[in-house]
């Protein structure tokens, strides 16, 4: 869980004005200019009728009712009836145009945002929160929709009414009209002062809403961890704190919006009283007819109502302005990976891929690769190995040009990937990820995504190559079976086989495997590896893995540590060097499964990799190796809780684990990831120290476990062993305390 207070991508401190909002919306109306003009004409018809209706009161009173002229009365009433019919028809047409234009504008904006998402580079998504991005499609677009459908049309009609009514007011009595118009500027003082504050408050509300959405989005996807680590109280506390911040900012924004709307109404009410008083005096003295006074009052009420209408849509426009600012900030994001105008199409890989002194980091303060140079030959099977976080997967990101190196070059047949057309690279690559994403559609379409337009025969051929066809035929609807969200209706092995088929349907010359089998159980992994061995024949294969058994027969193995290439060669040559790779191999291969299905240590040198046991006599190591028991743990289980007293030592035979700790605010953050051959808990064997971290399985895992009481019993039997272990423990504690300090 992350409680990081990062600035949302693309947010700007410069506030957008409502005028800027209207200009942007107008740019989206331009493709539909004819309908926009027709809409404006309907507004003119309605505005004209409202003004003439108020003016008709003068003619009714002064020229029809007072002089008792029936023909004039009938003529005026007939005109009003015709005007009503025209206005009613214009209103119906206007409502349809509102609905049509609003839907089209929102649809265009929504599609533009989605297309823009597809252009952005992976670095943007790495620094963004999904909840914040989703809120641009939900709350921000909803605010803009309210402005398009309700706010802007209402404001336009109010503006037309004010202009028409003001002109007629001067025709009736220029003195009263001048007083009315002199007073109108006073009505904008409040919005002028309070509006910018409301805009800033609205922007803060949008940011807080996005942060709250991110917390909810993150929490819903992390329920397994929340429950396993008993984090209910801390996550609820974090949610409530963010919710309170949103409530405070929303209170301020709503109050400022309401008071911005209210201030002109107060002024208009005051001027209404003053103008009626002045008009009544003029009428009493005979300087103004009764009809003119009534019409003037009706027109001024129209002006007042229109001004109030303008202020009534102010909150809607303010919210839409904040939403549009965030949408425009997103649209202004530029991808970091772009093709040059003269991008070269890559030929089919013929010689190989070369890294020349490549340095790269996902962040400014951390290097994931440092001065890496290597040659990946065409047609070879190549593996990148090392512990989690060593930089091996980063190589794949650079080969796929998901990122560009900060220094050095990645060359494809001698062509710098920064000069290449991306499609020409992706067309000849088939990639299988550790967790291959499946879309909520049928099996056939998930495979066809690898090659849009592939025929059913090509899809089935790829499925057969992935040894998936028979499995599919046993599904309820065969190739038309819907896999569910993220492939949730299928097993892990079935999902990976679909991912392999999706890669093969492209007929790639280069196959990339990014921990493609690490999340599978041993039997499924073995079957998938056999399939991969079969389908990769005659192709260049680049595999990232921490399981060395799967790359024993590979042509080239590159070993990484802390972002540096430290060893390279074949499996046998690396074992001969007795370096890092040899140590990893011993830890991963020093056990066998006995007749009872349990693991037993066959190479006691794997215990010498543990500092606590490094200097023990061989006889003691053999006795200790026989004390280990086997334990299988499913994914998502907590092995050790931070703060618990430990009494067991673990060697990971198969699996992947997350090591996490709590920060000062009670938020969990990951310290490290452990893989096959790693170990933990050695100090807990002989001390009363509590665990300083929480360890949880990320995949189904198999451990060899040594319990404290067994080791202590052996130490009591052998004084020499006791002395050696205590000396080793003392050194180990000193190293641990030094690192902690």
CA gyration radius, the chain: 37
Question: Distance between alpha carbon 704 and the CA centroid of its chain, in Å?
Answer: 39
Complete DSSP assignment for 519-580: TS-HHHHHHHHHHHHHHTTTSEEEEE-S-GGGGTT-SEEEEEETTEEEEEE-HHHHHHHTSH
Length of the chain counted residue by residue: 741
How many Å apart are CA 434 and CA 495, to the nearest integer?
10
H or E element in which residue 306 lies = helix 290-312
Residue 2 lies in a domain: no
Long-range (24+ apart) CB contacts under 8 A made by 713-722 are 714/620, 714/623, 714/624, 714/627, 718/620, 720/617, 721/616, 721/617, 721/620
Is 384:392 a contact under the CB 8 Å cutoff?
A: yes
Domain that holds residue 69: 18-331
H or E element in which residue 652 lies = strand 648-654
Task: Return the exposure string of 340-361: e unless at least 16 CB atoms fall within 10 Å of the residue's CB, then b.
Answer: eeeeeebeebeebbbbbebebb
Is 612:685 a contact under the CB 8 Å cutoff?
A: yes
Using one digit for the tens of pLDDT, what is the confidence trace for 636-676? 788 888 877 778 888 888 788 888 877 766 666 777 788 77
What pLDDT, on the 0 to 100 scale, is given for residue 8? 47
How many Å apart are CA 238 and CA 662, to the nearest integer?
14
3-state secondary structure of 128: coil
How many Å apart are CA 536 and CA 551, to the nearest integer?
13
Using one digit for the tens of pLDDT, what is the confidence trace for 375-416? 999 889 999 998 877 888 899 899 988 889 999 999 999 999
3-state secondary structure of 274: helix
Using one digit for the tens of pLDDT, what is the confidence trace for 595-651? 666 777 777 777 777 777 777 788 878 888 888 888 888 887 888 888 777 788 888
3-state secondary structure of 261: helix
The pLDDT confidence band at residue 261, using thresholds 50, 70 and 90, is low
Q: Give the other-Cβ count within 10 Å of 82's Cβ.
A: 11
Q: Which of 331, 362, 386 is the last residue of a domain?
A: 331
459 vs 63, residue with greater confidence: 459
Residue 72 lies in a domain: yes
DSSP-derived letter for residue 149 is: I
Both structure tokens of 250: 């929303």
pLDDT at 3 over 50: no
Residue 13 lies in a domain: no
Both structure tokens of 518: 């690490």
Instruction: Indicate whether 319 and 365 sit together in one domain.
Output: no
DSSP-derived letter for residue 188 is: G
What pLDDT, on the 0 to 100 scale, is given for residue 10? 46
How many Å apart are CA 544 and CA 391, to the nearest integer?
10
Mean per-residue pLDDT, 118-143: 78
Q: Give the other-Cβ count within 10 Å of 727's Cβ.
A: 11
Instruction: Indicate whether 545 and 644 sit together in one domain.
Output: no
What pLDDT, on the 0 to 100 scale, is given for residue 1? 38
How many CA atoms lie less than 13 Å away from 392 in the CB half-sphere?
27
The 3 state secondary structure assigned to 674-723 is ECCCCEECCHHHCCCCECCCEEEECCCEEEEEEEHHHHHHHHHHCHHHHH
Instruction: Indicate whether 306 and 358 sit together in one domain.
Output: no
DSSP-derived letter for residue 420 is: B
**Domains: count for the chain:** 3
Provide φ and ψ at 345, rounded to 5°: -80, 130
pLDDT at 5 over 60: no
Instruction: Indicate whether 629 and 486 sit together in one domain.
Output: no
CATH of the domain at 624: 2.60.120.10
Instruction: Indicate whether 438 and 512 sit together in one domain.
Output: yes
Both structure tokens of 717: 């039997």
Question: Across the strands, what pairs with 569?
Answer: 557
The pLDDT confidence band at residue 188, using thresholds 50, 70 and 90, is low
What pLDDT, on the 0 to 100 scale, is given for residue 2? 37
Instruction: Indicate whether 305 and 370 sit together in one domain.
Output: no
CA angle 339, 340, 346 (to 5 degrees): 65
Both structure tokens of 387: 């512990």
Instruction: Indicate whether 546 and 624 sit together in one domain.
Output: no
Q: Which of 583, 604, 626 is the last residue of a domain?
A: 583
Residue 428 lies in a domain: yes
Residue 67 lies in a domain: yes
Both structure tokens of 274: 């003053």
Instruction: Name the one residue in this structure whose structure tokens are 């011993």.
Output: 586
Instruction: Indicate whether 358 and 427 sit together in one domain.
Output: yes
Question: Across the strands, what pairs with 544?
Answer: 384, 514
Question: What's the whole-number average pLDDT of the chain?
Answer: 79
Is 405:391 a contact under the CB 8 Å cutoff?
A: no
Instruction: Indicate whether 486 and 634 sit together in one domain.
Output: no
Provide φ and ψ at 370, rounded to 5°: -130, 110
Q: Give the other-Cβ count within 10 Å of 230's Cβ.
A: 10
Instruction: Indicate whether 555 and 612 sit together in one domain.
Output: no
pLDDT > 90 fraction of the chain, expressed in percent and rounded: 7
Residue 7 lies in a domain: no
CA angle 551, 382, 351 (to 5 degrees): 155
How many Å apart are CA 195 and CA 260, to the nearest integer?
6
Instruction: Name the one residue in this structure whose structure tokens are 């050095």.
Output: 408
Query: Among 479, 466, 469, which Cα is nearest to 527's?
Result: 466
Looking only at the bridges linking them, the beta strands covering 540-544 and 510-514 are parallel
pLDDT at 117 over 60: yes
Using one digit for the tens of pLDDT, what is the confidence trace for 193-219? 666 677 677 777 777 777 777 777 667
**Cα torsion angle, 656, 361, 412, 377, sign:** negative
Instruction: Indicate whether 478 and 611 sit together in one domain.
Output: no
3-state helix, strand, coil split of the chain in percent (to 5) is: 60, 15, 25
Using one digit for the tens of pLDDT, what is the confidence trace for 322-358? 788 888 888 888 888 888 888 889 888 888 899 999 9
Complete DSSP assignment for 435-480: T----SSBHHHHHHTTSTT--HHHHHHHHHHTT-HHHHHTSTTGGG
CA angle 167, 171, 176 (to 5 degrees): 90
CATH of the domain at 210: 1.20.1560.10
Mean per-residue pLDDT, 536-551: 84
Mean per-residue pLDDT, 469-484: 85
Instruction: Indicate whether 514 and 556 sit together in one domain.
Output: yes
Cα distances from 707 to residues 190, 601, 682, in angstroms, run: 75, 16, 10
Residue 595 lies in a domain: yes
What pLDDT, on the 0 to 100 scale, is given for residue 725? 67
CATH of the domain at 463: 3.40.50.300
Residue 208 lies in a domain: yes
Question: Across the strands, what pairs with 412?
Answer: 353, 415
Q: Give the other-Cβ count within 10 Å of 220's Cβ.
A: 10
């Amino acid at each position: 869980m992350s409680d990081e207070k990062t600035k949302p991508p693309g947010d700007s401190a410069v506030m957008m004005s409502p005028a800027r909002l209207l200009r942007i919306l107008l740019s989206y109306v331009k493709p539909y200019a004819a309908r926009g003009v027709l809409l404006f004409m309907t507004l003119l018809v309605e505005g004209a009728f409202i003004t003439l209706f108020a003016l008709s009161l003068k003619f009714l009173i002064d020229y029809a009712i007072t002089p008792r002229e029936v023909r004039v009365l009938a003529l005026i009433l007939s005109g009003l009836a015709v005007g009503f019919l025209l206005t009613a028809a214009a209103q119906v047409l206007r409502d349809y145009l509102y609905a049509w234009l609003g839907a089209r504008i929102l649809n265009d904006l929504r599609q533009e945002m989605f297309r823009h998402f597809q252009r952005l580079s992976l670095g943007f998504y790495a620094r963004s929160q999904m909840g914040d991005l989703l809120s641009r499609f939900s709350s921000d677009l909803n605010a803009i929709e309210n402005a398009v459908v309700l706010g802007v049309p209402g404001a336009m009609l109010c503006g037309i009414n004010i202009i028409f009514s003001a002109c007629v007011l001067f025709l009736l009595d220029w003195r009263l009209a001048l007083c009315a118009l002199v007073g109108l500027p006073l009505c904008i003082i409040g919005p002028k002062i309070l509006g910018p504050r409301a805009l800033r408050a609205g922007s803060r509300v949008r940011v807080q809403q996005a942060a709250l959405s991110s917390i909810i989005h993150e929490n819903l996807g992390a329920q397994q961890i929340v429950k396993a680590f008993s984090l209910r109280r801390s996550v609820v506390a974090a949610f409530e704190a963010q919710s309170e911040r949103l409530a405070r900012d929303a209170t301020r924004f709503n109050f400022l919006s309401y008071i911005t709307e209210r201030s002109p109404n107060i002024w208009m009410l005051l001027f209404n009283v003053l103008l009626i008083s002045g008009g009544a005096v003029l009428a009493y003295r005979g300087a103004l007819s009764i009809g003119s006074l009534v019409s003037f009052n009706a027109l001024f009420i129209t002006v007042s109502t229109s001004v109030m209408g303008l202020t009534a849509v102010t909150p809607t426009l303010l919210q839409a302005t904040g939403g549009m600012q965030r949408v425009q900030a997103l649209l202004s994001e530029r991808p970091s990976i772009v093709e040059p105008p003269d991008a070269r199409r890559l030929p089919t890989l013929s010689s190989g891929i070369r890294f020349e002194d490549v340095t790269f980091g996902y962040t400014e303060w951390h290097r994931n690769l440092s001065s890496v140079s290597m040659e990946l030959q065409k047609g070879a099977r190549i593996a990148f190995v090392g512990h989690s976080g060593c930089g091996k997967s980063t190589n794949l990101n650079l080969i796929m040009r998901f990122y560009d190196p900060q220094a050095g070059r990645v060359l494809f047949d001698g062509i710098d990937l920064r000069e290449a057309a991306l499609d020409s690279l992706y067309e000849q690559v088939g990639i299988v990820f550790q967790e291959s994403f499946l879309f909520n559609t049928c099996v056939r379409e998930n495979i066809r995504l690898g090659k849009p337009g592939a025929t059913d025969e090509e899809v089935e051929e790829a499925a057969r190559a992935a040894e998936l066809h028979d499995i599919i035929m046993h599904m309820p609807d065969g190739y038309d079976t819907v896999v569910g969200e993220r492939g949730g209706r299928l097993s892990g092995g079935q999902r990976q086989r679909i991912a392999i088929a999706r890669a093969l349907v492209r007929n790639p010359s280069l196959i990339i495997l990014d921990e493609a089998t690490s999340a599978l159980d041993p039997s499924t992994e073995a079957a998938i590896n056999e399939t991969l061995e079969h389908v990769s024949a005659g192709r260049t294969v680049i595999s990232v893995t921490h399981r060395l058994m799967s790359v024993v027969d590979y042509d080239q193995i590159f070993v990484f540590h802390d972002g540096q290439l430290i060893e390279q060669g074949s499996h046998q040559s690396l074992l001969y060097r007795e370096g890092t790779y040899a140590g990893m191999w011993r830890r991963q291969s020093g056990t066998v499964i006995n007749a009872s299905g349990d693991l037993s240590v066959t190479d006691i040198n794997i215990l010498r990799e543990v500092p606590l046991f490094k200097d023990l006599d061989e006889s003691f190591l053999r006795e200790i190796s026989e004390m280990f028991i086997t334990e299988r743990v499913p994914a998502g289980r907590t092995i050790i809780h931070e703060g618990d007293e430990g009494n067991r030592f673990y060697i990971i035979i198969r699996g992947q684990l997350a090591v996490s700790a709590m920060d000062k605010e009670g938020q969990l953050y990951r310290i490290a990831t452990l893989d096959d051959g790693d170990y933990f808990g050695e100090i807990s064997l002989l001390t009363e120290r509590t665990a300083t971290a929480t360890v949880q399985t990320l995949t189904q895992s198999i451990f060899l476990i040594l319990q404290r009481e067994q080791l202590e019993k052996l130490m009591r039997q052998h004084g020499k062993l006791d002395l050696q272990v205590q000396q080793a423990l003392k050194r180990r504690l000193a190293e641990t305390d030094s690192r902690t300090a």
